[in-house]
Structure 1
Amino acid sequence: MLFSLERSLPVLAFALLLPMAGHATETTPAPAPAQSATAAAAIDEDDEFGPDWPLGPGREDTGYLCGACHSLAIVKQQGLTRGDWDELIDWMVEEQGMAEPETSERDLILDYLAEHFNVDRVLK
């Protein structure tokens, strides 16, 4: 049988295209979903308390004091005045055995709670 270019052309084309067939099924990975600005800021600043725990002075002190005994979500739900938060801390110290915070720390915590978890707060 003699070599015929006309008969060999389909075989040659198939042989050249075969190595590329595997690449046709490869897919590009989907991009990661974008984070909300609030979540990204919380993660960049401090992911320990989550994006619903507002940034600000007293955040860590409040989070550590309250989070030592219970979920921070319970704090977020309360919505108390500064005076009510102060009375609640007294009750926790007297009745629940919580360690008494130093005066400067207590003021910082009360300021944070009164600003972010007051009666006018908006629940998320």
Structure 2
Amino acid sequence: MGLRITLASREARPLLVSLLVSLLVGPVLFSPLGLAPAAAQDDGPATSAVASADEGPGIDPDSGFVMGEGWQTVKGNCTVCHSAALVTQNRGSRDHWAYLIDWMQETQGLWQFNPEMEDTILDYLSTYYGPRTDARRQNLPRHLMPPTAQASEPDSKD
């Protein structure tokens, strides 16, 4: 026994996909066992909703966005279709964020932005959610590496 949904128009499909993703992913993101919000990570910008000038911008308590230049534009455009957590848990270069915007416009029904607004969004995303340089652990020292087949074979000198 299964659920069958028939859509009358192609325009309704992105809405249905967004709804299904929200229903499936939302409980995981916001459950006690779900993903930690980006604001709680040590390697990101300041995590206080009220930050002093020394600490940099604070975090919007409603969305979790860093309250840097352009954050309200991002919040107003990105959270129309999906949760802010979908943005804050990701990182990417300006080119990566531009690719994602193009993809959403081509496949998900995202509207076209005027050039100034797109620049504001891309500047914000690449500044506050740019690539991480410290996301990978350091390599293990050689003496802590597990033995390999090559390392455990005796040297054969013929």
* TM-score under structure 1 length normalisation: 0.58
Distance 1:121 1:72, change over 3 A: farther
Q: Match for residue 102 of structure 2?
A: 90
Write out per-residue CA displacement over residues 53-104 of structure 1, whole angstroms, 9 at most, x where no aligned residue. Answer: 1112110111111101111011011101100100100010111111111100
Q: Match for residue 57 of structure 1?
A: 69
% identical equivalent positions: 35
Distance 1:83 1:119, change over 3 A: same
* RMSD of equivalent CA atoms: 2.4
Pair 1:70 & 2:64 matched? no
Other structure's SS at 1:69 match? coil
Q: Match for residue 16 of structure 1?
A: none
Q: Which has the higher contact order (CA 8 A, sep 6+)?
A: 1
Q: Match for residue 109 of structure 1?
A: 121
Other structure's SS at 1:75 match? helix
How far the C-alpha of 1:38 sits from its partner, in A, is: 1.7
Q: Give structure 2 stretches of 5+ with no counterpart.
A: 1-46, 52-57, 136-158
2:50 is aligned, of 40, 43, 51, to 40
Flag as ranges the 4+ runs of structure 1 deviating above 2 A.
39-43, 46-49
Higher helix share: 1
Distance 1:120 1:90, change over 3 A: same
Q: Is the CA contact 1:81–1:119 (under 8 Å) kept in the aligned structure 2?
A: yes
> What is the aligned residue count?
83
Write out per-residue CA displacement over residues 101-122 of structure 1, whole angstroms, 9 at most, x where no aligned residue. Answer: 1100000000000000111288
Q: Give structure 1 stretches of 5+ with no counterpart.
A: 1-36
